[in-house]
Amino acid sequence: MKEFSENIKRSSEEWDLIEAYDKEWAMKDWGRQEGRREGIKEGIQEGKKEGIKEGMEKGRHKEKLSIAKGLFKKGIDISIIADCTGLTEKEILELKEG
């Protein structure tokens, strides 16, 4: 009977260790998942910022092209247009072709 009691006690202790390990693993897994969610959230926010920045830059460039096209049609010298808009002479000449 003593041996049976010791086996039960040992089984109970082993079961406690398994439960402790499971809890530890679950907490680590939860931490990884939480970290992943936070990383995704930060990535989305950063992507939005970059998208807005890129959109603003494209909009400014498009506006410069529009201004350059109008000035070019009025006969303003290409070098002056380039100097005022920051566009290259090549970009301005492409407006004439396009």
The model's pLDDT over 32-64, given as tens digits with 9 standing for 90+, comes to 788 788 888 899 999 999 999 999 999 999 999
The pLDDT score that the predictor gives to residue 32 is 78
Q: How confident is the model at residue 86 (pLDDT cuts 50, 70, 90)?
A: very high
Task: Please report, for the chain, the start and end positions of each structural domain, with discontinuous segments joined by +.
Answer: 2-97
pLDDT at 19: 73
What contacts 78, CB < 8 A, 6 or more positions away? 72, 89, 92, 93
For 8-40, how does the pLDDT look when each residue is reduced to its tens digit (9 = 90+)?
A: 555 666 666 667 666 777 677 777 788 788 888
Question: What is d(CA 13, CA 25) in angstroms, rounded to the nearest whole number?
Answer: 18
Strand, helix or coil for residue 74:
coil
Q: What is the mean pLDDT of residues 73-89?
A: 94
Question: What is the DSSP secondary structure assignment for residue 62, as one 8-state letter?
Answer: H
| C-alpha to C-alpha distance for 27 and 48, rounded to whole angstroms | 31
